[in-house]
Amino acid sequence: MQNLLHNLNPEQLAAVTLPAQPALILAGAGSGKTRVLTTRIAWLIQTMQISPAGLLAVTFTNKAAKEMLARLSAMLPINTRGMWIGTFHGVCNRLLRAHHRDAALPQTFQILDMADQLSAIKRLIKRLNVDDEKYPPKQLQYFINSAKDQGLRSHAVDAHDDFTRKFVELYAAYDEQCQREGVVDFAELLLRSYELLSRNQPLREHYQARFKHILVDEFQDTNDLQYQWLKLIAGQHNSVFAVGDDDQSIYAFRGANVGNMAAFEREFNVQNLIKLEQNYRSHGHILDSANQLIAHNTNRLGKNLRTDAGHGEQIRIYEASSDLQEAQWLIEEMKSLINEGWLRSEIAVLYRSNAQSRVIEYALFTAALPYRVYGGQRFFERAEVKHAIAYLQLIDNPHNDSAFLRVVNFPTRGIGARSIEQLQDAARQYGVSLYAAVPYVAGKAGSSLGGFVKLIEGMRFETQQLPLPEMVQVMLEKSTLIVHYQGEKEGADRIENLEQLIAAATVFVSEEGFGLDAPALLGPQAHAAQNSVLTMGDGTEIIDADAPLAAVMSPLSAFLSHASLEAGDNQAQAGQDAIQLMTVHSAKGLEFDAVFITGLEEGLFPHENSEESDDGVEEERRLMYVAITRARKRLYMSFSQTRMLHGQTRYNMKSRFFDELPEDSLKWLSPKVQSHWFGASQIKAAWVDAPELGSNQIAQKMNRDVGWRIGESVHHAKFGDGVIVNIEGSGAQARAHINFGRNGMKLLDLGVAKLERSP
């Protein structure tokens, strides 16, 4: 026991050894929350308060779940394979697999990742002859997922106008299409699981009796449906150990509700609230800045990070005249760090918008500095891998229309758009899947489509007794995907990825306990499932979800679910020795020795859209808090007077967040004054009037003529602080374009406007 609890600080120890009651752990950035969670689980098991099977732990990324399982295996001599530790989507997938009949799903239901869901929506819109410009597919996708995240089916959505009524109609049609094809999207996993537990009392009571201890990581990121699901499975008497940080709630755009933390404290009558404030990551100046910044937010549960690591270095601030100059400054600072011995992989550049990366990437490329855009395309999202997965999906469930359409003519086999239209017409007429509609298509189209069906049926027959890795290998050969890519100029990498799919299947069946020789379709899990049946209090028989994955799913179905869930995970992998580039949202959960936060300008960070909602700026401030607390040793911040974004030049004021940081913790690398720069049109006009003058003399003349200079900081009684970005005319006719940040760009008559120079 002492070995398990050694080196915990007093707050961590108090959290780990709490009694079996609802508890809220406010875990600040870098405070060791993963250690607390895993040690809590190990302590509960070691003190025999719970068996490994009687515990449920929910995380937000597959990476976090795997890390938790790995740490537990190192702490205790137990088999973690059957433990219910996973993401919300992973746990709900497992629940629905075990109770697919009660959930009105086929046992082989497949999961649509976000890209596949969008494809299914586009197909629906086309089938119903809906104008995709008036009703954009991506907007419909957001509408459907948002409704599901709130626990709303189409009939429960408030349709207050014609546009919304059409979206509700399409939502209902989309649900029917998914049900017919035997597929579910990510949001559906949660909603269908919630509905199942809501209406099935014996099943709900079974899980409430089983999971006496429930632990939830990143609680601040839960949405409304996840919180309702949690309340349902916890019941009235179970212990819920919720770990989160309301100051790091940055996913409101995905439906996350930071208010769930306060609601949990109130509704579960939480008596145990512990704050983990000891930070083991960052130096003092970094934490002081984070603390003072986030203190400007209201309605916080409240905590203050501290460290024993000393003050460390001040935060370096740089003001650039343009985004190009900002990028060059980044390069010089990075080179200096690398020359001092800092690892490239421990240097990160963070930005608020993906659009900012273009200039930075070009500068890195030109400087021959290796870099990696974090959160880029993952293995299971690559086109060639998705093609291969589609073939496997058809082997598992031939009625998956999305998979059918992806590969029916890939590699090309003479099945054109007209043939597909005939097939879709037949499917609509007879109310069946595309696969089942093939016999109803006559002529050459029917013959070509019949050849594809024969190919899939041949694959199903030939692979049903093969282990999963061999099935994948046969599929790659029979589909001719390998041959197709051999004919491409840059096909070697794609072929390597396809061959890697065989390796991924091998690792998967081994890790999940299927056995390397278990047939992919008809493995021993079919027999195990027969011996894993529970009888509920009302006599209902269900598959025991306590059984390992191999008892409730075939290796193929399990692997396909794994592929979809991995593709949907928003946490990418790191490890390459290259400078790391990423959005601040992608940086959540990561840490680096040196961090550059770029583009700290009004309208960019905080983003201009934040003004549209009451909590918008507070969420941006939480995002800035996350950015600051990614740094261990050295932190840089930069902003630029001008920036080219989306094809337009922006004239900027520095972010308000600078005014919310402690001055003692900042080190300005450039003077806190605006440069004296002019627009090309003004200089050209002045040159026509006085061609004998040089550009510097022209600038001085223009300043004297109007009494103001471009780039000067000013104050207006109504619009507040601003920056002069352009001047038209001279003397009494002079007018100025002034960027007032939150109040936008204004054109003011300099002879009338009562401007004051900012100090």
What's the pLDDT at 242?
Answer: 95
Backbone angles phi, psi at 33, to 5 degrees: -70, -35
As a whole number of Å, the end-to-end CA separation of the chain is 62
Alpha helices, DSSP H, located in 76-130: 88-98, 114-127
- Calculate mean pLDDT across residues 76-90: 87
534 close to 206: Cβ distance less than 8 angstroms: yes
Please tell me the predicted confidence (pLDDT) of residue 337.
96
User: What band does 376 get if pLDDT is binned at 50, 70 and 90?
Assistant: low
What DSSP line would sit under 128-182, residue for residue? TT--TTTS-HHHHHHHHHHHHHTT--GGGS---SHHHHHHHHHHHHHHHHHHHHT
Asked whether 243 and 33 are in contact (CB, 8 A), the reply is yes
Q: What is the pLDDT of residue 302?
A: 87
Q: What is the CA radius of gyration of the chain?
A: 30
- Tell which wins on pLDDT, 176 or 727: 176
pLDDT for 720 = 86
pLDDT in tens, 615-651: 889 999 999 999 999 999 999 999 998 888 766 677 8
pLDDT band with cut points at 50, 70 and 90 for residue 552: low
Q: Picking from 46-60, 242-256, 419-433, 734-748, which range would have the lowest pLDDT averaged per residue? A: 734-748
Q: Which H helix or E strand runs over 448?
A: helix 443-463
- Contact between 555 and 465 under an 8 Å Cβ cutoff? The reply is no
Least confident interval from 31-35, 523-527, 730-734: 523-527
For residue 545, what pLDDT band results from cuts at 50, 70 and 90? Answer: low
pLDDT at position 539 is 56
Which residues are tagged catalytic?
Answer: 33-34, 217-218, 248, 630
Contact 599, 636 (CB under 8 A): no
Phi, psi of 118 (to 5 degrees): -65, -40
Q: How many other C-beta atoms lie within 10 A of the C-beta of residue 674?
A: 19
pLDDT, the chain, mean: 86
**pLDDT of 754 strictly over 90:** no
C-beta separation of 135 from 125 below 8 A: yes
pLDDT-derived band at 355, boundaries 50, 70, 90: confident
The stretch 575-604 carries a mean pLDDT of 91
pLDDT at residue 255 is higher than 80: yes
d(CA 750, CA 707): 9
Question: Once rounded to an integer, what is the mean pLDDT over residues 403-407?
Answer: 95
Question: What pLDDT was estimated at residue 568?
Answer: 64
Block residue for tokens 């600051």: 628
Listed in sequence order, the residues at least 6 apart from 248 whose beta carbon sits closer than 8 Å to its beta carbon are 29, 220, 588, 622, 625, 626
Lowest mean pLDDT, pick from 30-39, 186-195, 378-387, 456-465: 378-387
For residue 540, the model assigns a pLDDT of: 52
What is the pLDDT averaged over residues 32-50?
92
Q: Which of 657, 649, 571 is nearest to 607 (CA)?
A: 657
pLDDT at 683: 37
Residues linked to residue 347 through DSSP beta bridges, in sequence order:
594
Question: What does the pLDDT average to over 507-515?
Answer: 78
Task: Kindly report which listed range (191-200, 340-349, 492-501, 681-690) carries the lowest average pLDDT score.
Answer: 681-690
pLDDT bin (cut points 50, 70, 90) of residue 362 is confident
To the nearest whole percent, how much of the chain has pLDDT over 90?
A: 57
- Read off the pTM: 0.75
The pLDDT of 401-422, averaged and rounded, is 92
Counting beta carbons within 10 angstroms of the beta carbon of residue 133, is it exposed (0 to 12), middle (13 to 18) or buried (19 or more)?
A: exposed
> What is the rounded distance in angstroms from the CA atom of residue 57 to the CA atom of residue 214?
6
Query: pLDDT higher for 504 or 628?
Result: 628
Give me the mean pLDDT over the 75-81 stretch: 83
pLDDT at residue 445, rounded to an integer: 92
Mean pLDDT on 308-320? 95
Alpha carbons 749 and 727: distance in angstroms, whole number: 10
Residue 672 pLDDT class (50, 70, 90 cuts): very low
What's the pLDDT score for residue 175?
Answer: 96
- Summarize the confidence of residues 547-561 as an average pLDDT: 75
**CA dihedral angle for residue 446, residue 451, residue 452, residue 453, rounded to 10 degrees:** 80
Q: How confident is the model at residue 150 (pLDDT cuts 50, 70, 90)?
A: very high
What is the average pLDDT across 327-337? 95
pLDDT at 656 over 70: yes
Position 125 pLDDT exceeds 80:
yes
* Cis-peptide, bond into residue 759, ω within 30° of zero: no
For residue 569, what pLDDT band results from cuts at 50, 70 and 90?
low
DSSP 583: E
The confidence band for 219, taking pLDDT boundaries of 50, 70 and 90, is very high
pLDDT band at 700 (very low <50, low <70, confident <90, very high): very low
